[in-house]
Amino acid sequence: MITAGKRRRTRNPRGEGERLRAELLDVAARHLAESGDVEQLSLRGIAAEVGVAAPSIYNHFPNKSALLKAVVDREFEAFDEYVRARAARGKDPFDRLRRGGLGYLAFAGERPGAYTILFGTRRNESMPPLDVQWHEVDDPGLAAFGTLVSLIQDCLDTSPVGRQHDAFLIAVEGWTLLHGLADLKATLPSFPWPSSKRLVDAWAERFQDSLRTT
Amino acid sequence: MITAGKRRRTRNPRGEGERLRAELLDVAARHLAESGDVEQLSLRGIAAEVGVAAPSIYNHFPNKSALLKAVVDREFEAFDEYVRARAARGKDPFDRLRRGGLGYLAFAGERPGAYTILFGTRRNESMPPLDVQWHEVDDPGLAAFGTLVSLIQDCLDTSPVGRQHDAFLIAVEGWTLLHGLADLKATLPSFPWPSSKRLVDAWAERFQDSLRTT
DNA sequence: TGTACATCAGTGAACGCGCGTTCACTGATGTAC
DNA sequence: TGTACATCAGTGAACGCGCGTTCACTGATGTAC
């Protein structure tokens, strides 16, 4: 349901028609982030909120699926970029891993609807499939997982016993923890959750301990 | 989308009208379990599959929300019962905890659509809210969490240092792990996931170790 | 034993709604001559 | 400097569809007299 009425809007100057495309994506992304539900988006609603007639959308997207795909792809890129940027602030591999994990949870916490669209279970046929082997990734969603694997690999590389561990397996464990917390928090916001920092630190510390030479 | 055509169906005998109610719930539950999406259910579709005219539904439910709520409630009960039954097979508290966790994942694995409806992020206003303090639970979904808390409390009670631990906190950690794995598996079925048993055993073992007197 | 009647399980047609999409169009603006 | 024209950014009306829901109904069946 879209409550906003029509906005007054001056048409784009000649040659700047592409600006409507960006406006449509912005509004669609905002609605997705609020509702967390791809099904609830309607072209008419988006058009009304942008302040344009519904058929104008077809100047920029062949159909609804194409618009949906475009906005989801953009969201995936934003997510991966956000996590990378947070991780990059760390001063050593373990710190980067911790910060990456916290970044993951921060994105999910600040934009639960957006997170849900990316990693929530509800996906439909107009969305990228995500059901590929992780190493054959060309799905932008799994790029974020690739980021996690390489953060962990960097940690392993600091230790002489690092080669005894499998970065992939540890990444799966970490991802499961992050996703479980992120998703449950979005579902049950008023549950008395422990702090993200506490959980991530505990996990990272245990991981670091396991790499000390015995 | 419902593909099945109308089924031939003989009307229920006098006094047995309630049987249609059960049939409707069964078909609705099956569709929910397949699609994992509450929004995709249509009364007309359910009616057609049962072999009845759409308005007949209104003899048993005041509207769509009521039918939805009934089927979701029933699913929650089935889930909690399933986990309890699995846990009960264990021969000591730790074994019951392990089996309960594996039961949780087994339910989610065998009926991913059903699991998604119960704990996936997509909930809408026609569903029970779930956003309550866990200890004020009257939501059937959180009953399952209560089961987990008490399984853990039983473990704590076996140890002299048990009182130093918080069953609630440990339950949150366990739940996060279980949900993360269950939900990601449903989203990415072809990802090379490690076995549930391995993950649950590792977690339970670590928990048990932390209760040994040092 | 027969019949009128209430009850029950369910029906068919219709309603208004919002949706994605198509179609022929409009009116401003830059450009070619 | 003026004008015809192509292009561009959009529009308004209409389409067919499936939906939840309402309404007046039908026809079988048990029950009261």
pLDDT tens digits along A81-139: 999 999 999 999 999 999 999 999 999 999 888 888 888 755 443 344 433 333 333 45
Report if CB B14 to strand C is under 7 Å: yes
Report if CB A4 to strand C is under 7 Å: no
CA distances (Å), origin B92, targets A157, B85, B98, B99, B201? 41, 14, 10, 10, 15
pLDDT tens digits along B146-155: 889 999 999 9
Mean pLDDT of the B183-211 span? 84
Mean pLDDT of the A18-46 span? 92
> CB-CB: which of B124, B131, B194 is closest to A172?
B194
A186 close to A112: Cβ distance less than 8 angstroms: yes
User: Under an 8 A CB cutoff, do A121 and B179 touch?
Assistant: no
Cα A83 from Cα A106, distance rounded (Å)? 9
Burial A179-191 (b: 16+ CB within 10 A, else e): bbbbbbbbbbeeb
Q: Is the CA virtual torsion B134, B139, B143, B144 positive or negative?
A: negative
What backbone phi and psi angles, to 5 degrees, belong to B14? -50, 135
User: A38-42, B5-9, B15-19, B22-26: which has the minimum mean pLDDT?
Assistant: B5-9
Report if CB A38 to strand C is under 7 Å: no
User: Under an 8 A CB cutoff, do A39 and B39 touch?
Assistant: yes
A169 close to B194: Cβ distance less than 8 angstroms: yes
In this prediction, residue B50 has a pLDDT band, given cuts at 50, 70 and 90, of: very high
Give the residue on B whose Cα is nearest the Cα of A116. Answer: B121
Q: Does B118 touch chain A (CB under 8 A)?
A: no
Write out the DSSP string of B23-77: HHHHHHHHHHHHH--GGG--HHHHHHHHTS-GGGGGGT-SSHHHHHHHHHHHHHH
Could you say which residues from 168 to 187 on chain B have a Cβ atom under 8 Å away from some Cβ of chain A?
169, 172-173, 175-181, 183-184, 186-187
Q: Does A101 touch chain B (CB under 8 A)?
A: no
Give the residue on A whose Cα is nearest the Cα of B183. Answer: A121
